[in-house]
Structure 1
Amino acid sequence: MKRISIKPVWTIQGGDAGNLSPRLIELLTAVHTEGSLLAACQKLGMSYRHAWDLVRAGEAHFNTTLLHMERGKGSTLSPLAEKLVWADLRIMARLQPILDSLASELSHEIAKVGSLGDSAFRLHASYGFSIEKLIEQLLEQGQQVARRYASSTAAAAGLHDGACEACGIHIPFGSQQARALEHYAQWLSAPDLMLVDISTRRQGLMVAPGNPKKIYDLNDLTREDVRFINRPADSGTRFLLEGLLGERRISGAEIAGFEQSEATHASVAAFVASGLADAGFGLERPARYFQLDFIPMVNERYFLICHEATLQHPVMQKTLSILADPDFKSSVNALPGYDSTHSGQITPLKEAFAENAFTPAA
């Protein structure tokens, strides 16, 4: 099956200077991450002269400075350049899972009209960084996987409706586990369902570096000086957060920004990192990536669910092999907040939660 990738490209039009090259944003983003124009050029394989031409064209277009150069101190982005870079980071964080799903669907459609037929293994999964690594390994090893990133609810419903061979969802440990199991039971009623562990992961509060607003618990989100950015209403993380707030008798109406949402954990982190919100709730890995402080609150179990017979499918057999591989486990353990100790463990779903027996809906 052909591997397709889809990337968004900026088009900046208008003004006497004409249209800008989309590589300008790529260059400014590289300066932001690498710390100097020279290092950015090396990362992008771009000549120093061409980079300066892009910067000068951008400055002429916007009629303002984009880059400050100081001998011995590297390169510093101007306020406008910072805004452009953070906008690009938010765009990528928001769209990447969607674009990955669309690319996979397109690959699947091309395969259906080619010699491969309609043979791809369909996987619907809540987006996360361990499942992303697993899918990447499967594709690198030539497995035909049609992935679709969706909410945990939509993924579970997809398995129930026969729209996929396996689904990936997450369930919290602790006080919110029983509530989550009850929620998903309506779609996970088949008696032969099996659970395949991938990893555990941490969710919590993302706040600005140094935590200037002194946000340490969910109660702090109700303060008038705190702006919050949420996840979409149908997401598993939003469902978890609402349960945690309910334990504390906190209403979403008490939190400024509660109804404003970003589509992914990474876009929540980027939103906070760019100063548009003071706090978000999500995974530790994107918080660390965007150099935010992180206050852990809940550990979760991320896993695949499939029918018992599906375990014999060649793609599932390869999946189990990858999950047991020490190199894969190490790559997951390197993700902040992730642990792969039980990766590849298979358990009947009805036996998988000893502290809260899973009772499928009748």
Structure 2
Amino acid sequence: MSKELSYTIEEVSQLLKVSKLTLYDLVKKGEIPVFRIGRQIRIDAKDLDNYILQLKTNGSLKFPIEPPKNDTRSLDKIVISGQDLVLDILGKHIEKHSSFKTLRAYTGSLNSLISMYNGDCDIVSLHMFDGDTGEYNLPYIKKILVGYPYIMLNLLSRKAGLYVKKGNPLHINSWLDLNKENIKLVNREKGSGARILLDEQLRLHNISSKNIQGYDYEESNHISVASAVSAGLADVGVGSEKVAKMVGIDFIPLINERYDLVVLKTPETERLINTVKNILSSTQFKSEVNSLGDYDTSQTGKIMYETE
């Protein structure tokens, strides 16, 4: 295994036949050392071999996870789950203004929330539309984080809608147009905010997913969906405005979605919550987000809900 210099989280996940969230948890606990190349987390092949050897010897080998004597910084590692670029900016600010080290899990909203319930994530980003209330995020949080105290803070708002080919040749302008026979969809994976938005809109408009060509054709992120539309593999997909501009396709805005952060409230997370609050309310953070374009920071940092 040591023939390779280093591995990505995904590569190690495939090698060990475990989920990526399990690996993030091991990294968070300091059981597997990691290093960064840009935004990417990598695991040295020798460290992976040592970890496997440790398991084979019933844990008789231990990693030195205490900081060096000349390094007084905490080794606290936190996992931020979600896919928007702004979460990388948030992670950078957290590391700059605290002793936390941030790891990123690029997982959809619902699966991220379930991971938080299972103790695998520290900050979860959500954009889940509830068709019965017209509300974002809170109806889902109340059903999943049962018995847990938490705080929900607004990260930003953004427009969500439909990706279509340049010039919109099929004249797709609403959710109802997805029901047309000649329209092929590219979908998002189950548990993503975009998938939930689509499914709720189909339900509200009494459209059966069985009637939609391409409903089972899934991609795992906005860029892949937009790229599929751009390449002619599909006619339409659901996503956010910014990515449409990045890929060079047209965008049909249909809803303003709220993108929130959730953190569990415990004595251990009090410092993290205060750090995040201060960052979100800072002029510098909002300025960086606004410089990206197509984001609304008018409510950034606002407490949208908090349990007692």
TM-score, normalisation: structure 1:
0.62
Give the equivalent residue in structure 2 for 1:210.
167
Counterpart mapping for 1:83-122 below 5 A: 109-110=32-33, 113-116=64-67, 119-122=75-78
- The farther-off stretch of 129-138 and 114-123 is 114-123
Structure 1 residues 301 and 192: CA distance shift in structure 2, 3 A: same
CA distance in 2, matches of 1:284, 1:310: 38
Which of 191, 202, 219 aligns to 1:234? It is 191
The answer (yes or no) to whether the contact 2:153–2:261 under 8 Å persists in 1 is yes
After TM superposition, give the deviation of residue 311 of structure 1 in Å. Answer: 8.4
Cα distance in 2 for partners of 1:340, 1:174 equals: 24
Unaligned runs of 5+ in 2: 1-5, 11-18, 35-62, 69-73
Aligned to 1:299: 256
Q: Deviations over 1:94-141 (max 9, x none)?
A: xxxx99x97997686316744349943433423123223212333455
Match of 1:153 in 2: 110
CA RMSD across the alignment: 3.5
> How many angstroms apart in 2 are the aligned matches of 1:209 and 1:287?
10
Q: Which runs of 5+ in 1 are unaligned?
A: 9-97, 352-362
Relative to its length, the structure with more strand (as a share) is: 2
State the AA in 2 paired with 1:138.
I
Q: Secondary structure at the match of 1:215?
A: coil
Structure 1 104/270 Cα, relative in aligned 2: closer, same or farther at 3 Å?
A: farther
Cα 1:186–1:248 shift into 2, 3 Å: same
Q: 1:350 to 1:245 in 2, by over 3 A?
A: farther
CA distance in 1, matches of 2:132, 2:292: 25
2:92 corresponds to? 136
Q: CA deviation at 1:219?
A: 1.6
**Retained in 2: the 8 A contact 1:231–1:261?**
yes
- Cα distance in 1, alignment partners of residues 276 and 203 from structure 2: 37
Alignment-mate amino acid for residue 211 of structure 1: N
Deviations 1:287-323 (A, max 9, x none): 1111111111121221221233468644443322321
SS in 2 for 1:196: strand
Q: Does 1:329 align with 2:286?
A: yes
What count of residue pairs does the alignment treat as equivalent?
259
1:228-255 Cα shifts (integer Å, max 9, x gaps): 1000122221111110111111111111
Match for 1:199: what amino acid?
L
Cα offset, 1:179, TM superposition: 8.4
Which residue of 1 is the match for residue 222 of structure 2? 265
Shift in CA distance, 218/258, structure 1 to aligned 2, threshold 3 Å: same
Deviation per CA, 1:253-275, whole angstroms, max 9, x where unpaired? Answer: 11110110100011101111122
Would the aligned equivalents of 1:311 and 1:317 in 2 still touch at CA under 8 Å?
no
Q: From the superposition, tell whether residues 266 and 116 of structure 1 become closer, same or farther in structure 2 (CA, over 3 Å).
A: farther
Alignment partner, residue 127 of structure 1 = 83
Specify the alignment match of 1:246 in structure 2: 203
TM-score, structure 2 as length reference = 0.71
Query: Which residue type is aligned with residue 155 of structure 1?
Result: S
The one-letter code of the counterpart of 2:66 is: S
> Conserved in 1, the CA contact under 8 Å of 2:152 and 2:261?
yes
Distance 1:176 1:206 in 2: 25
Matched residue SS, 1:297:
strand
C-alpha distance in structure 2 between counterparts of 1:106 and 1:311, whole Å: 18
Structure with the greater alpha carbon radius of gyration? 1
The residue correspondences of 1:20-39 to structure 2 (distance < 5 A) are none
Letter of the aligned partner of 1:128 in structure 2? D
The answer (yes or no) to whether the contact 2:128–2:136 under 8 Å persists in 1 is no
Distance 1:104 1:195, change over 3 A: same
